[in-house]
Amino acid sequence: MRFNWNIIKLFVLIICITGLYAFSNKRNAERAVHGITVRFVGAENLYLTEVMVNKLLIQNYGGLRNVPKEKLVLNTIEKVIETNEMVKSAQVYLTINGELTSKIVQRQPIGRIEGNSKFYLDEEGKRMPLSENHSARVPIITGKITGKSLEDVYVILKHINEDDFLRKNVIGIHIEDDEKYQLKFRLENFVVNLGDVEDLDKKFNNFKAFYAKATKDKTLEDYQIVSLEFNNQVVCTKI
């Protein structure tokens, strides 16, 4: 009887690979968490800290060090981290060395509301609590705070953040009683009456053209109010 040694070798190889795979899976499942690392993605200013994240995990899990990998539910840990109001999203994974790593994207404020209650407006137009760790340098929103006015303010803030000149110079937005808006600038004494949120691109382009000319003529200090409310015009009130 002749044996086909190639078939036998293949059969033995399959058994060895299967055994190694099963052994590897068993060792991998038994691997415990040796350390926890928190990384903040793309964040220069930290509105929450690594200590705060670890405290949140301890409150929910009583600590994750030395917990076997098979007992970890990474999606659940991500959702726990995302319950923090400063967190936009979280990604959690376990490294080969047993390091539990959390990559966290923070919410980014674009305006600060100073009314009966104080909070940030974030990049998605949602309310975001103030942080004890860092104060964002964003325009201050004052005046008559309502649901509708906050929607309008969000639209204005988006335009401001998309323009380098406006982002560097606008420090405040005041909401008037008739839901019209007034801008305050960092270095100038005048205020800008924006009116409503219609035709913002045209209004801001007109203002920048006025600003460039007034800067060249050295007349910026002569004005008290600059109004953009009227159709395609810049109307100025002198001091």
- Evaluate if pTM is beyond 0.85: no
Question: In the CATH hierarchy, which fold is given to the domain comprising 31-106?
Answer: Ubiquitin-like (UB roll) (3.10.20)
Give per-residue pLDDT as tens, 66-90: 677 777 788 998 999 999 999 999 9
Q: Taking the domains of the chain in order of start, what are their residue ranges? A: 31-106, 140-238
What span, in angstroms and rounded, lies between the C-alpha atoms of 49 and 40? 9
Please state which CATH number belongs to domain 140-238.
Answer: 3.40.50.11690
To which residue do tokens 């406006």 refer?
166
Region 185-206 average pLDDT: 92
Cβ(68)–Cβ(29) below 8 Å: yes
Q: What is the mean pLDDT of the chain?
A: 85
Give per-residue pLDDT as tens, 9-57: 665 566 656 555 544 455 555 566 677 888 999 877 789 998 899 888 8
Q: Where are the beta strands (DSSP E) in the chain?
A: 35-40, 87-94, 99-106, 109-114, 118-122, 127-128, 140-143, 170-175, 181-185, 191-195, 223-227, 235-238
Per-residue pLDDT at 37: 85
Enter the DSSP assignment of 69: G
In the structure encoding, which two tokens stand for residue 216, read together?
A: 């060249």
**Share of residues in the chain with pLDDT > 90 (%):** 54
